Chains A and B, each alone.
Chain A
Amino acid sequence: MNPYALFLGCTTPTQVIQYELSSRWVCNKLGIELVDTDDFVCCGINQINLSQEAGLLLAALNLAHAERKGLDILTLCTACTGALAEAIKKLEDQETRDHVNGKLKTIGLEYKGSSRVKHISRVLFEDVGMDRLKREAKRDLSKLQVAPHYGCHYLKPESAFDGFDDPDNPKTLHQLISATGAFPVQYETLSLCCGGKSFPISKEPAWSLIQKKLDNLMHKTIDALVVQCQTCYLMYADQQKVLNEQLGKHYHVPVLLFPQLLGLALGANPNNDLGLDMNGISLNLLLSKAGIKHTI
């Protein structure tokens, strides 16, 4: 398997460290080589709000660094994935590329367009594959029922993802969950956005969005919501607690990051390897249902 430059983004390595921890453990276990680098910066997705040029330049800086190392990029955050993939698409236009390279030249970089970007789930899906994931499973998670949540930028804008999965009817995370042995539950609000990108500007619409999904999931028999982005995680886990504490809600929907679920199947130590003890909503019930003798 090809090695990847690990693109951690801003939020995972500072706020949701268990996502990084579990992703590194899973990749190491499966032989996906991750190369750390000191020169990546913010992907630029939020800077697009103030200047599309600034957002594109930051994305191009990251892509140019990966190119220089001769590596493709593996992302954890779906928003970083979307921002970098969309930048690659925009930079196919020669006029745009020339303009960006004019600016990158001032910091000694050039964008050539040779590095690709893949989210960790896509790498697991395409590079490792379902068959091997199923073969590697050490624990029986077949008693677990979990609800998948994809994250908008995992597959959108559609033009940036070369037909990988269908944004209107996505299947890859369902299949990855099945490969762990757990059952991916169908539910009505599957495609609802977590609201994370509007949250810094106005809390109420974002809270309404997550409540809609949590209300739906409270009526389903599930052991956890499984996400593949730290912003989705923060919205559904941390903000769920805020809704309970500040608005008198009574939600109880445990949230797992996909590499944590996969790590459990692959035999990882729940706390030391996957950081399950860092997830705010207790996962003890899920562990006991899966027959894993471990207290978080």
Chain B
Amino acid sequence: MNQNKKSKEPIQVSHLDVKFSSEVTSHKEASALNACFSCGTCTAGCSISEVFPEYSPKKLAKMVKLGMRQSVLSSRFIWYCTTCHNCEQHCPQNVKFFNVLNVLKNMAAKEGYAPSPWAEQTRQIMKSGLIFPLNEELAEKRNALSLPPFKSDGAKAKKLITLTGIDKIESGSQQ
């Protein structure tokens, strides 16, 4: 997407995917995007936009509606969200941009753009049930503090994750 660099260049109509918007809104969680009238309340409240103006939920929503499929899904910016939910807090159209963004990220992940921290965490959950490993050192530290042993159910987590197929997602780089 290159929101900060290429945004100064005109959008090439031939590069647009007219079906992208309906592809996104066909997901129940993102269907309310159809009601977006680009008022920018999402961006006004966005934590990341406040310190990093290149990131803009309003702009991403507009890019989806225009059909900028490749630019959106390959963008590193879609992964910058800090999940504060401010974008949806005051949306007059009840769009729930957080959910729209999740749909975009899920699509991008399937196309090979998942950042490595999230793919790594999935692999770790499949081992221990948690995003961190449990080891002897930790067990001793907890024991010294008279805390009970800490365990998780990695086998059940692994089974569920395998059913979704995200265990097969390879991480890739974004633009």
A residues lining the B interface (CB < 8 Å)? 8, 10-11, 13-15, 17, 20-21, 24, 36, 38-42, 45-54, 57-58, 61, 79, 82, 103-104, 106-107, 109, 152-153, 156-158, 167-168, 192-193, 195-198, 200-202, 204-206, 208-209, 212, 275
The winner among B47, B55, B117 for most chain A CB atoms within 10 A is B47
In the bound complex, do residue B118 and residue A49 qualify as a contact, i.e. CB atoms below 8 Å apart?
yes
Question: Which residue of the partner chain, among B85, B142, B169, contacts A152 with CB atoms under 8 Å?
Answer: B85
Query: Once bound together, how far apart are the Cα atoms of A17 and B84, in whole Å?
Result: 25
Q: Which residues of B contact A17 (CB under 8 A)?
A: 141-142, 145, 147
Q: Which residues of B contact A14 (CB under 8 A)?
A: 130, 132, 134, 138, 150
In the bound complex, do residue A57 and residue B151 qualify as a contact, i.e. CB atoms below 8 Å apart?
no
Q: Say if the beta carbon of B63 comes within 8 Å of chain A.
A: no
Query: Once bound together, how far apart are the Cα atoms of A237 and B106, in whole Å?
Result: 32
Q: Which residues of B contact A36 (CB under 8 A)?
A: 148
Closest to B46 in A: A193
A-B complex: 9 closest residue pairs judged by Cβ atoms:
A208-B51, A41-B129, A156-B85, A200-B117, A198-B82, A193-B47, A193-B84, A38-B151, A10-B130
Q: Say if the beta carbon of B159 comes within 8 Å of chain A.
A: yes
With known contacts A201-B80, A208-B52, A46–B131 Cβ distance under 8 A: yes
Closest to B117 in A: A200
In the bound complex, do residue A40 and residue B152 qualify as a contact, i.e. CB atoms below 8 Å apart?
yes
In the bound complex, do residue B83 and residue A153 qualify as a contact, i.e. CB atoms below 8 Å apart?
yes
Q: Say if the beta carbon of B173 comes within 8 Å of chain A.
A: no
What distance in Å separates the Cβ of B85 from its nearest Cβ neighbour in chain A? 4
In the bound complex, do residue A41 and residue B152 qualify as a contact, i.e. CB atoms below 8 Å apart?
yes
With known contacts A17-B145, A52-B102, A192-B47, A205–B125 Cβ distance under 8 A: no
In the bound complex, do residue B160 and residue A103 qualify as a contact, i.e. CB atoms below 8 Å apart?
yes
Query: Once bound together, how far apart are the Cα atoms of A52 and B121, in whole Å?
Result: 15
In the bound complex, do residue B105 and residue A49 qualify as a contact, i.e. CB atoms below 8 Å apart?
yes
Q: Say if the beta carbon of B81 comes within 8 Å of chain A.
A: yes
In the bound complex, do residue B141 and residue A57 qualify as a contact, i.e. CB atoms below 8 Å apart?
no
Question: Which residue of the partner chain, among B96, B103, B160, contacts A54 with CB atoms under 8 Å?
Answer: B160
What distance in Å separates the Cβ of B123 from its nearest Cβ neighbour in chain A? 11
With known contacts A40-B153, A208-B51, A45–B83 Cβ distance under 8 A: yes
In the bound complex, do residue A21 and residue B147 qualify as a contact, i.e. CB atoms below 8 Å apart?
yes
Query: Once bound together, how far apart are the Cα atoms of A179 and B85, in whole Å?
Result: 29
The winner among B55, B85, B121 for most chain A CB atoms within 10 A is B85
Q: Which residues of A contact B163 (CB under 8 A)?
A: 57, 103, 106
Q: Which residues of A contact B159 (CB under 8 A)?
A: 106-107
Question: Which residue of the partner chain, among A47, A168, A196, A204, contacts B82 with CB atoms under 8 Å?
Answer: A196
Query: Once bound together, how far apart are the Cα atoms of A197 and B84, in whole Å?
Result: 9
Q: Which residues of B contact A41 (CB under 8 A)?
A: 125, 129-130, 152-154, 156-157
Question: Which residue of the partner chain, among B51, B141, B166, contacts A47 with CB atoms under 8 Å?
Answer: B166
Closest to A60 in B: B160
Q: Which residues of B contact A20 (CB under 8 A)?
A: 147
Q: Which residues of A contact B166 (CB under 8 A)?
A: 47, 50-51, 54
Query: Once bound together, how far apart are the Cα atoms of A15 and B134, in whole Å?
Result: 11
Q: Which residues of A contact B138 (CB under 8 A)?
A: 14
Q: Which residues of A contact B105 (CB under 8 A)?
A: 49-50
The winner among A41, A107, A209 for most chain B CB atoms within 10 A is A41
Question: Which residue of the partner chain, among A50, A109, A196, contacts B122 with CB atoms under 8 Å?
Answer: A50
Query: Once bound together, how far apart are the Cα atoms of A14 and B133, in whole Å?
Result: 9
Query: Once bound together, how far apart are the Cα atoms of A152 and B164, in whole Å?
Result: 28
What distance in Å separates the Cβ of B9 from its nearest Cβ neighbour in chain A? 24
Q: Which residues of A contact B157 (CB under 8 A)?
A: 41-42, 58, 61
Known: A152-B82, A208-B51. 12 other contacts (CB 8 A): A11-B132, A39-B153, A42-B121, A42-B130, A49-B114, A51-B165, A61-B153, A103-B160, A193-B82, A196-B82, A209-B47, A209-B82
In the bound complex, do residue A13 and residue B82 qualify as a contact, i.e. CB atoms below 8 Å apart?
no
Q: Say if the beta carbon of B119 comes within 8 Å of chain A.
A: yes
In the bound complex, do residue B142 and residue A205 qualify as a contact, i.e. CB atoms below 8 Å apart?
no
Query: Once bound together, how far apart are the Cα atoms of A39 and B156, in whole Å?
Result: 9
Q: Which residues of A contact B3 (CB under 8 A)?
A: none
In the bound complex, do residue B89 and residue A212 qualify as a contact, i.e. CB atoms below 8 Å apart?
no
Closest to A6 in B: B148
